Structure formats: structure tokens, C-alpha cells
């Protein structure tokens, strides 16, 4: 039930006759550097596939040959590194109270395994971004705030609660990531006495008379964390501002969020020397992302404070599929603003389902389409939950890429971890997305060029079919194959 995070580098899966023509073991030099085109030295493929032992495993070094014009009958992924789009900021996951509490309950060896699995480039998948909550969320053992009741001046403000589990883990994560880990922070609800329903739970709204106090609360939190050696890169205005949940939640219409930003939160951050913090609006699903972004960003006084628009993937609760075109429309309409995926997880945890291949495929499908829609950063939800999918103080148990079996002290890896790793391990901060096009709907792809010049191509196959295809660039073709229910990362160096 467990799998080690150490990524296999040996060519180790059982070859079959149908795959032999498509995998090549000898590096080749493709000398076609004219017109500024990259000189290709090696093409290396890494694969994760259902029904195999492949988990981000090196599955071959591809050769290349001349192919001026592919035929329509030939399956191809077309790449053009000269056509560039948005830059990548980072890929990572959220360090919630639940994650930190589970981490603290693990034996030391499993704690180190967890840190290596997520933050090491060599031993793990090299996360470069993090999110955490401003006081409690549903993934806390209970509701709490940083101030006592009826303290509008915030004189009692303290983050002492977080010093038990969350702050120590964030500090360890920063060290494991090499000393730098951009962190953004999100509130699920103001304190109950600031709200119209007098509860942190079940929606309600921020009372108008406490708008400035709540803006000051953000500043207090950022200052408190930074005083403890945890830099804060950015913040979101409100987690899921259109959802009345049984857990911590607070409702803002688009107009209310716009006015809170331009009249209170934006000016308060600027006044306190925090104008450089990345202010992220919406932080909810793709279904209404354009309506929200259009209201917020069409107002110059609000837009000047907003760095970008964040979103989740839970629009599927309505029965809809994932609405990537809405994300793309925001980028096309407001190209100077950033897009960031702020949360996604698979809900309704069941321990018997931790090996379900669909868990990872949801991540791969979302990430490829989100990046192709203009996203600059992508953040998973909980990084570590227990064998019950928690803790969660309202029973909203969910899947994580890694679960902790707290009885044995072992880590359980779902295939989500590996699907995420096909992006985070290879796509570096500062990479630019480049043109990638598939001529078959069974193969979906995205591609990047890293700051060091290496080209990273990610190809995913959700079908039951083995699909031989050509990776085509500048009149050259490398033949390979996509296994059923697989994801591959191909590095052109």
C-alpha cells in the first residue's frame, strides 16, 4: 500500500514487442542550430503509467530524424520553442493545520521522507510554492482566531496557536526547498464577532463597520509570520467568497470584494509598506471567474492593487466539466494580470480508493489545460492527510497526494503525487510556456522552456490505448509511445 518517493532512474519496465520500435536508448546530436533554433543534444523521457512500476521513471533516450511534413495519419505533438507565452512562478501545495499536525505525529524518518518527497529536486518532486491559511479552515482540528472576542483594535493579536505545528513545518519546508519558498496566505472567515451571522461557519458577511479592522488583521498576520522568519509573498482576499459552507466561510459579491480591495485592503497594505505583496482576488471556481474578474479589473481603482486572479477546480459540483475556456478568457481580456490555481483536491475520501488511477489523472488533466489557458502558478490543496482524510473539524475528508498511516508511521503515496511531479520536478520557476499542439484528442500536452534552455514537454494519455506518436519540432521527429493511462515528461537538452 506504500510506495517510496525515490524516483527510479534505471530503465526498468518490461519491454514488449509493440514498444520496441518507439523507445531509443542512445543519445543523438541533432545539429539544426540555424535561425536561432536550439541544438538538440539529448531527448530523455520519464513516464508514470497504470499497470506498471513506472513512477516518474526514465524510460529511454529518444533519437531524431528528418520529417519535413507529417502526414495526417501520423500522430504528432508539435512543438515550437520560439512561440512563448506566460512565465511560470512555481508549483506547490498547501501547508494547512491538518498537514502540520499529521507531520508532527510521524516518526523522524517519515518526516524527513515527507520533506524530501515534496521539496528535494533529486529525491522528490521539487515544490517551489506554498499556501497556508490565516487562522482556521475546515482542515483544522477546530475553529480559532488570533484575537480575543470583541477586540476591534486587535490588541490581543498573536499567532501563538500556529507555533505548535504549522510554523515549525513551514520553516522546515523552506529549508528543504533550499531556503526559498514563496508563500501566500488566505482567510476562510473573519472572527465571528466581525460577521453578520455571528459565526465563522456557514457563510455570513463581513460587517461594514469592521472592514478596516479586518484589513488591519491581514497586516498583523503578515508582520507576525515575517517576524518569525517566514516571508509572505502574497495573499488572497477570501477563500471561496460565493460559497456558504458548513465550515469557515464568508460571502462577498463581486462588488463587495471590489470595494473592500480598493477602499480598505489595498490602501492598508500600501500604507504598511506591503504594496509589493501579490494580492490575489476571487480564489474560487472557474465557473464565475470571468464575471468576478471583469467586475474587479474593470475598476481602475481596484485593479491597481490586484496582482492576479486565483481559482479552484470545484465547479464540477454542479455537474459541469472543468471550464478552462473561462480561465483563458480572463487572460485574453486582462493580459497584464496573472492567473494562479490556488486549490484543488479530490473529495469524499475512502482509504480503499487511494490506488485509484483517476486521482492523478484529474491533476494531469487540470494542470495541462490550466497552463495552456495562461496560468502562471499552480497550488495543490493539502499535502499530507491521515488515513481518514483529515483531520477536518466538520468531517469534510478528502484525498491528498500523500497520506500518513499514523498507526504504522508510514507514508502512502497516491498517483496524484507522481502526476504533480511530472510538472513540479521539471518545470522551473522562470520557465516560459511554449507552443505545443496535438493532432489527436487522446493525447493532451503542454510545454515549457526553462531558464537554462532545456525544453520540457508533458504528454498525457487518459485512454485505454497504446499510442505511438511523433514529437515534432523544426522538421525533426522523435518517435516514442504513450502507454495507456500514462503521463510522460520529455526533456530536450
The answer to whether residues 105 and 59 belong to one domain is: no
| pLDDT at residue number 21 | 32
Q: What is the DSSP letter of 21?
A: G
pLDDT higher than 90, residue 31:
no
Asked if residue 6 is part of any domain, the answer here is: no
Do residues 414 and 445 share a domain? no
- The dihedral built from the CA positions of residue 473, 475, 481 and 485, taken in this order, carries a sign that is positive
pLDDT band at 1 (very low <50, low <70, confident <90, very high): very low
Which of these three, 429, 449, 466, is where a domain ends?
429
pLDDT of 491 reads 98
- Specify whether 343 is catalytic: yes
Taking alpha carbons only, the member of 217, 221, 216, 243 closest to residue 232 is: 221
Distance CA 184, CA 72 (A): 46
Residue bearing cell 517566514: 230
Query: For residue 169, what is the domain's CATH number?
Result: 3.20.20.80
Give the per-residue pLDDT at 198: 98
Residues 22, 1: Cα–Cα separation, whole Å: 32
379 and 253 fall within a common domain: yes
- Centre a 10 Å sphere on the Cβ of residue 20 and count the other Cβ atoms it contains: 10
Question: Do both 469 and 484 map to the same domain?
Answer: yes
CATH number of the domain enclosing 479? 2.60.40.1180
Residues whose CB is less than 8 angstroms from the CB of residue 420 and which lie 6 or more positions away in sequence, other chains included: 91, 93, 125, 360, 363, 367, 380, 401
- Report residue 33's pLDDT band, with 50, 70 and 90 as the boundaries: very low
β 377-382/129-134 pair status? unpaired
Mark which of 429, 464, 480 sits at the end of a domain: 429
Identify the pLDDT of residue 38.
Answer: 63
Q: Per the domain annotation, does 19 fall within a domain?
A: no
Region at 133 (left for phi over 0; alpha for psi -120 to 50; beta for the rest)? beta
Query: Could you tell me the three cell numbers for 258?
Result: 471590489
For residues 269-291, give the mean pLDDT. 98
- Note if 153 is an active site residue: no
Q: Averaged over 369-376, what is the pLDDT? A: 98
Q: Are 39 and 56 in contact (CB under 8 A)?
A: no
Residue 307 has pLDDT above 90, yes or no: yes
pLDDT of residue 41: 82
Q: DSSP characters for 153-181?
A: T-TT---GGGGTTHHHHHHHHHHHTTS--
**Is position 57 within any domain?**
yes
For the chain, what percent of residues have pLDDT higher than 90? Answer: 92
C-alpha cell at 441: 484528442
Q: Considering its fold, how many domains does the chain have in total? A: 2
Spell out the residues 6+ positions from residue 251 whose beta carbon is closer than 8 angstroms to its own. Answer: 203, 204, 205, 241, 242, 243, 244
Give yes or no: residues 487 and 420 share one domain: no
Q: Is 51 helix (H, G, I), strand (E, B) or coil?
A: coil
Same-domain check for residues 68 and 104 = no
Q: What is the pLDDT of residues 190-200, one digit of tens each?
A: 999 999 999 99
| Same structural domain, 364 and 467 | no
Residues 466-484: tens digit of each pLDDT: 999 999 999 999 999 999 9
The Cα–Cα gap between 13 and 389 comes to 32
Considering the domain architecture, whether residues 424 and 440 belong to the same structural domain is answered as no
Banded pLDDT at 39 (limits 50, 70, 90):
low
Catalytic residue among 101, 113, 315, 343: 343
The x, y and z cell numbers of residue 450, run together, are 526553462
Model confidence pLDDT, tens digit, residues 93-132 = 999 999 999 999 999 999 999 999 999 999 999 999 999 9
Q: Which of 101, 113, 240, 361 is catalytic?
A: 240
Would residue 3 count as lying in a domain? no
Model confidence at 278: pLDDT above 70: yes
- Asked if the model's pLDDT at residue 85 lies above 80, the reply is yes
State whether 216 and 230 are in the same domain.
yes
Would 14 be classed as within a structural domain? no
**Domain end residue (candidates: 408, 429, 450):** 429
Distance between CA atoms of residues 323 and 325, nearest Å: 6
Structural domain contains residue 8: no
> Mean pLDDT over residues 424-438, rounded?
98
Mean predicted lDDT score pLDDT of the chain: 93
Q: Per the domain annotation, does 374 fall within a domain?
A: yes
Q: Clarify whether residues 379 and 245 are in a common domain.
A: yes
Rounded to whole angstroms, what are the CA distances from 221 to 99, 127, 133? Answer: 20, 24, 10
Residues 182 and 330 in one domain: yes
179 with 230, same domain?
yes
At residue 471, the 3 state secondary structure works out as strand
Determine, yes or no, domain membership for 38.
Answer: no
Cα–Cα distances in angstroms (integers) from residue 390 to residues 74, 91, 122, 323, 448, in the given order: 47, 23, 29, 28, 35
Between 166-176 and 97-105, two packed helices, what is the crossing angle to 10 degrees?
80
Q: Could you tell me the residue range of the domain that residue 73 belongs to?
A: 43-86+434-492
* Exposure string for 459-486, b = 16+ CB within 10 A, e = fewer: bbbbeeebbebbbbbbebbbbbbbbbbb
pLDDT in tens, 58-73: 999 999 999 999 999 9
Amino acid at each position: 500500500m506504500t510506495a517510496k518517493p525515490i524516483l527510479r532512474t534505471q530503465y526498468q519496465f518490461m519491454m514488449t514487442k509493440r514498444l520496441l520500435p518507439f523507445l531509443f536508448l542512445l543519445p543523438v546530436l541533432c545539429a539544426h542550430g540555424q535561425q536561432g533554433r536550439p541544438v538538440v543534444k539529448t531527448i530523455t523521457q520519464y513516464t508514470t503509467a497504470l499497470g506498471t512500476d513506472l513512477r516518474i521513471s526514465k524510460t529511454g533516450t529518444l533519437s531524431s530524424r528528418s520529417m519535413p511534413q507529417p502526414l495526417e495519419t501520423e500522430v504528432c505533438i508539435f512543438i515550437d520553442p520560439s512561440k512563448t507565452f506566460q512565465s511560470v512562478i512555481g508549483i506547490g501545495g498547501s501547508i494547512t493545520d491538518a498537514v502540520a499536525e499529521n507531520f508532527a505525529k510521524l516518526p523522524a524518518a517519515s518526516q524527513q521522507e515527507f520533506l524530501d518527497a515534496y521539496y528535494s529536486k533529486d529525491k522528490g518532486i521539487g515544490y517551489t510554492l506554498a499556501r497556508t491559511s490565516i487562522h482556521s479552515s475546515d482542515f483544522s482540528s477546530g475553529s480559532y482566531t488570533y484575537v480575543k472576542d470583541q477586540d476591534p483594535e486587535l490588541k490581543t493579536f498573536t499567532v501563538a496557536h500556529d507555533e505548535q505545528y504549522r510554523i515549525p513545518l513551514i520553516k522546515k519546508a523552506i529549508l528543504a526547498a533550499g531556503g526559498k519558498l514563496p508563500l501566500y496566505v488566505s482567510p476562510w472567515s473573519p472572527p465571528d464577532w466581525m460577521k453578520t451571522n455571528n459565526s465563522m461557519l456557514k457563510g455570513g458577511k463581513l460587517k461594514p463597520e469592521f472592514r478596516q479592522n479586518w484589513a488591519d488583521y491581514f497586516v498583523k498576520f503578515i508582520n507576525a509570520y515575517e517576524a518569525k522568519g517566514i516571508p509572505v509573498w502574497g495573499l488572497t482576499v477570501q477563500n471561496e467568497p460565493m460559497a456558504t459552507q458548513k465550515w469557515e466561510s464568508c460571502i462577498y459579491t463581486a462588488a463587495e470584494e471590489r470595494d473592500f480591495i480598493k477602499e480598505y485592503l489595498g490602501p492598508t497594505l500600501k500604507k504598511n509598506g506591503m504594496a509589493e505583496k501579490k494580492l490575489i482576488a476571487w480564489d474560487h471556481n472557474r465557473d464565475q471567474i470571468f464575471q468576478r474578474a471583469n467586475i474587479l479589473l474593470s475598476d481602475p481603482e481596484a485593479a491597481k492593487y490586484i496582482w492576479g486572479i486565483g481559482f479552484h477546480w470545484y465547479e464540477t459540483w454542479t455537474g459541469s466539466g472543468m471550464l478552462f475556456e473561462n480561465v483563458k478568457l480572463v487572460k485574453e481580456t486582462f493580459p497584464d494580470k496573472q492567473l494562479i490555481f490556488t486549490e484543488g483536491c479530490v473529495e469524499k475520501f475512502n482509504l480503499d480508493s487511494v490506488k485509484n488511477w483517476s486521482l492523478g489523472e484529474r491533476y494531469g488533466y487540470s494542470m495541462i489545460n490550466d497552463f495552456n489557458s495562461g496560468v502562471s502558478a499552480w497550488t495543490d490543496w493539502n499535502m499530507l492527510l491521515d488515513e481518514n482524510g483529515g483531520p477536518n473539524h466538520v468531517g469534510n475528508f478528502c484525498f491528498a497526494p500523500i497520506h500518513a498511516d499514523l498507526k504504522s508511521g508510514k507514508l502512502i503515496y497516491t498517483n496524484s503525487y507522481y502526476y504533480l511531479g511530472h510538472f513540479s520536478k521539471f518545470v522551473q520557476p522562470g520557465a516560459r510556456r511554449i507552443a505545443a499542439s496535438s493532432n489527436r484528442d487522446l493525447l493532451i500536452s503542454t510545454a515549457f522552456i526553462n531558464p537554462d534552455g532545456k525544453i520540457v514537454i508533458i504528454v498525457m494519455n487518459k485512454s485505454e490505448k497504446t499510442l505511438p506518436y511523433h514529437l515534432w519540432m523544426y522538421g525533426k521527429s522523435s518517435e516514442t509511445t504513450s502507454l495507456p493511462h500514462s503521463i510522460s515528461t520529455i526533456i530536450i537538452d
